[in-house]
Structure 1
Amino acid sequence: MNRFACPVYLAFFLVLSITSAQAQDSTVPKLIWKVNRINMGTVLEEQGLQHAEFEFTHTQDSLFYIQDIWLECGCTTVEYTKDTLQVGESGKVLVTFDPTTSAGFFSKLIVVKGNVGGVQDSLYLEGISIPYPTDVKRAYPIIRGPLGLRLRKVNMGDVFDNEPKIKYLEFFNQGDALLDKGAFRSETPPYIQISQVQQFVRPQERGLLMVRYDGKLKNDLGFFEDVVPIRWENVEGSEIRLEVIADLFEYFAPIQKSDLNNVPQLFITQKEIDLKEISPKAVVRRTVTLTNQGRQVLEIRKVEGNCDCLLIEAPKDILEPGESMELSLTFDPIGRKGIDQRNIYVFSNDPVNPVQLIVMKSRVE
């Protein structure tokens, strides 16, 4: 036997064991944080300093204490538990953010360094900071009752059915009355909730309304617009109507690359239909083939056009693996002139492409 083989093998084994132990040790967190990222939402400059609390639990057998905390900028300050903690004991990190130092979206990094090796945890404080406007009338040009608004509609953007979407609506109290949170009332459908954030918004001050949209409760797909009446019971003339718009989608969890061929797959033969020049007096009909190229059943959840001038007919809403069907599209151009584009959205349970677009173009004489 080679006399060098045993030492070399032993050295290799020791290195492998140490590497393996380090890898295993690195996977065991020293501190368990309740959350390591806090979103403060929309913060108005005049609200003053904002506070966020991060709580952790020490999990190791050794004693623990925080040695230092590194902050990304002077816009945040921090206080933290300075006691030495036994295993199972908890501590806190209190971060204070000054909204006068930022404008727009912010994401601040806080690094916590402990006395136990490997403890250098990252925390994040996020939100949107809005400075006080220099010209109030220009900043809030839309007048609704006592409120000045930046935009005519509350755009919720993309809303998925796995969790509610929250958005903050900024307003300016241009009236003479105090807007009390306790007197705020809204007549909303079950999937929309609106509440006043601050307890009081005085005249000539800004405030926030929190709009919560639950896509699961809505239980539908596509674009929707709701008109929601709101008012303050103690303020005469405060009745206004908010327009809330949202695009609703079904949420699909990420899938493994190896599973791509096993899931439903919607294939559309023609995603752009060019009708070229057409008469405004003649209805136009076309068909598009939909095929399930996957190995599981494909469900057509919904097919929706962006105009009442479109009639869409699907003979079925279930396609077996390998099965096809013809989607019938009828376009009525009466009353239209010039270049026209119609969009047809196909919603399905294809987890990779759950929403696919068919475009119908034409030039109406």
Structure 2
Amino acid sequence: MIRIPKNLFALLLLCFITQLTQAQDTIVPKLIWAVNKVDLGTVLEEQGPQVAEFEFTHTQDSLFYIETVVTDCGCTTVEYTQDTLVVGESGTLQVSFDPSSGAGFFSRMIVVKGNLQGVQDTLYIEGNAIPRASDPEGTYRTRKGDLGFRLEKINVGEVFTNVPKLKEVEVYNFGDTPFYKDSLQFIGPEYIQVAQLTDSIMPNDRGLLQVAYDGAMKNDLGYFEDQVSLTWKDSTGFIALNVLADVFEYYAPFSKDDLNQVPQLVIEPREIDLKTIKSTSIQQKEVMLTNKGRQVLEIKKVQGNCDCLRLEMPKTTLDPGESMVLKLVFDPVGRKGIDQRNIYVFSNDPVNPVQLFLLKSRVE
């Protein structure tokens, strides 16, 4: 056994105690931010600078003040509390973003450095900046009454059942009458709501509408197209809007250790090639659905992308280790050439809640 001299041992012990004391000394006061990221949403150039506010609280014993704030773009300016704060006191930091600085999605970083060692926090603002249209007629090609839209339909995109999805829509007023926020009236399904964000949409100017889609209230899964109607008091007629959405079940994250405990859907095969078929020949095929997990699997919905498909299965639940046959009936009448059908299976498999398999053919 190797013996350490007493004086060397004492020196090593002293070094260890010194390092431990220094490590304890580096535990510096922290700032608690209410949020560290603000989404400004869609910002029109003519709306001018947009302000995001961040609130923080000083929670430690030492006196604190903001020493410097650095941003990554000249498009932002910052104002902040410059007072010295004691424990429990709060302050604010306001970031002003100029939407005329660029176009499209933006994400700006703000670094806040305090007077205390180790206090350096990073904040973010993001959104979508839209410049003025130099040619309104060419930009807003879809006309619905006096309002012009960039696209024929409003695509909300992916909607999950845990929180409503918000979509901001830019519109242009080609008419002679203003559209006021408090005059908007909406008719549509309860899971879709439409509001006007800008107080007014003046003639030859533009504004913003907001579509809110509640996936939980929809109480169904898959791809949907709904129609809603808008009108404003003292205006004539209704404006019909088509809203598109893909609704998915939300599953909260879980630990890796639980991976083998949850339902697991396996589809075999994932692709069926019918080769060359005649348009008068109805095709029937089978796909095997298996639950390889340790909890009951629920098949919530099976959806094809065509009325030419009929999908049949004997039940909607599978015990662990159980399998069943999903029957596909494809009627190619009226079709010609290369054809691909997408079939989506929605289940309570939290890892793959939506799975796709394909049905291919060449129709003569």
State the TM-score, normalized to the length of structure 2.
Answer: 0.95
Q: CA deviation at 1:283?
A: 1.4
Alignment of 1:100 with 2:139, yes or no, is no
Q: Deviations over 1:146-201 (max 9, x none)?
A: 11110001101111111111110001100110111111111121111110011111
Q: Deviations over 1:242-280 (max 9, x none)?
A: 110000111122232232222211111101001111122
Alignment of 1:17 with 2:20, yes or no, is yes
2:91 alignment counterpart: 91
Q: Deviations over 1:13-37 (max 9, x none)?
A: 43773586478x37xx711111110
Residue aligned with 1:14, SS = helix
After superposition, the Cα gap between the structure-2 partners of 1:80 and 1:309, relative to the gap in structure 1 and judged at 3 Å, is: same
Aligned-partner Cα distance in 2 for 1:251–1:72: 35
After superposition, the Cα gap between the structure-2 partners of 1:309 and 1:58, relative to the gap in structure 1 and judged at 3 Å, is: same
1:21-170 paired onto structure 2 within 5 Å: 21=24, 25=27, 30-170=30-170
1:6 alignment counterpart: 9
Aligned-partner Cα distance in 2 for 1:289–1:337: 28
- What amino acid is aligned across from residue 359 of structure 1 in structure 2? L
After superposition, the Cα gap between the structure-2 partners of 1:304 and 1:171, relative to the gap in structure 1 and judged at 3 Å, is: same
Aligned-partner Cα distance in 1 for 2:292–2:25: 46
Larger mean Cα displacement after TM superposition, 13-22 or 337-346: 13-22
Aligned-partner Cα distance in 1 for 2:177–2:362: 54
Cα RMSD of the aligned pairs, angstroms, is: 1.7
- What amino acid is aligned across from residue 314 of structure 1 in structure 2? M
1:272-283 paired onto structure 2 within 5 Å: 272-283=271-282
Aligned-partner Cα distance in 1 for 2:188–2:228: 6
Percent of paired sites with the same residue: 57
Aligned-partner Cα distance in 1 for 2:262–2:299: 14
After superposition, the Cα gap between the structure-2 partners of 1:325 and 1:8, relative to the gap in structure 1 and judged at 3 Å, is: farther
- What amino acid is aligned across from residue 6 of structure 1 in structure 2? F
Residue aligned with 1:177, SS = coil
Alignment of 1:235 with 2:235, yes or no, is yes
Aligned-partner Cα distance in 1 for 2:180–2:319: 57
Alignment of 1:358 with 2:361, yes or no, is no
State the TM-score, normalized to the length of structure 1.
Answer: 0.95
Larger mean Cα displacement after TM superposition, 240-249 or 254-263: 254-263
After superposing on structure 2, the runs of 4+ consecutive aligned residues of structure 1 that deviate more than 6 Å are none
1:197 alignment counterpart: 197
Residue aligned with 2:262, SS = coil
Gapped regions of structure 2 (runs ≥ 5): none
Q: Deviations over 1:21-68 (max 9, x none)?
A: 478x37xx7111111100000000011111111111110111111111
Q: Deviations over 1:75-134 (max 9, x none)?
A: 011111111111111101011111100210001111111112221111111000000112
- What amino acid is aligned across from residue 63 of structure 1 in structure 2? L
1:268-347 paired onto structure 2 within 5 Å: 268-347=267-346
Residue aligned with 2:203, SS = coil
Residue aligned with 1:91, SS = strand
1:226 alignment counterpart: 226
Aligned-partner Cα distance in 2 for 1:241–1:263: 43
Gapped regions of structure 1 (runs ≥ 5): none
